[in-house]
Amino acid sequence: MTHDHRPEVADHNRSLNHALDAVPRHIDIAGITKYLLGVENVSRIHDLHVWPLSTTETALTVHLVVTGEALDNNFLQRLQRHLYDHSGIAHATIQIESSLGENHCMLDRQ
């Protein structure tokens, strides 16, 4: 199969992927999952979603279930900085959930 490398075709393909909310090609979902699960105090993740905001910007949402109670904005900033630096994700919305207690997120199907 041959690929058409004309800029207008590439722009059309990016626009089509954007319209379909397809995960951008440069995003490594498995790598992001591995990173998030390796972060201290993160016991599991759920509802990880990545989609294009435009042909040049990418967004991510994820729920992190954490074991620690002493999490702060520095924790979120470190995660967001890593996602930007390593995956180019400029818009990361991260929901923090405690693994303590019995009130779990209704989206967590574990």
- What is residue 35's DSSP assignment? H
Asked if residue 49 is part of any domain, the answer here is yes
Token pair listed for 102 = 């019995």
Under-70 pLDDT residues of the chain: 1-21, 70, 103, 106, 109-110
Q: What is the pLDDT of residue 31?
A: 96
Tell me which amino acid residue 51 is.
W
> If you search the block for the tokens 């520095």, which residue do you land on?
74
Inside any domain, residue 25:
yes
109 within a domain of the structure (yes/no) = no
Structural domain total, the chain: 1
Q: Please answer whether residues 21 and 60 qualify as being in contact, where contact means their C-beta atoms are separated by less than 8 angstroms.
A: no
Q: What are the E-state strand segments in the chain?
A: 42-52, 58-66, 89-98
Instruction: Write the CATH number for 42.
Output: 3.30.70.1350
Is 81 part of a structural domain of the chain? yes
Question: Is residue 110 domain-resident?
Answer: no
What's the rounded Cα separation, in Å, for the pair 79 and 75?
A: 6
Q: Is residue 2 part of a domain?
A: no
Query: What is residue 8's predicted lDDT score, i.e. its pLDDT?
Result: 60
Per-residue pLDDT, 17: 44
Task: Classify residue 92 as exposed, middle or buried by CB count within 10 Å of its CB (0-12, 13-18, 19+).
Answer: buried
User: Domain range for residue 81?
Assistant: 7-98
pLDDT of 92-103, one tens digit each?
Answer: 999 999 888 776
Q: Is residue 52 assigned to a domain? A: yes
Q: Is residue 12 situated within a structural domain?
A: yes
Q: How do residues 10-22 score in pLDDT, each as one tens digit? A: 554 545 444 445 7
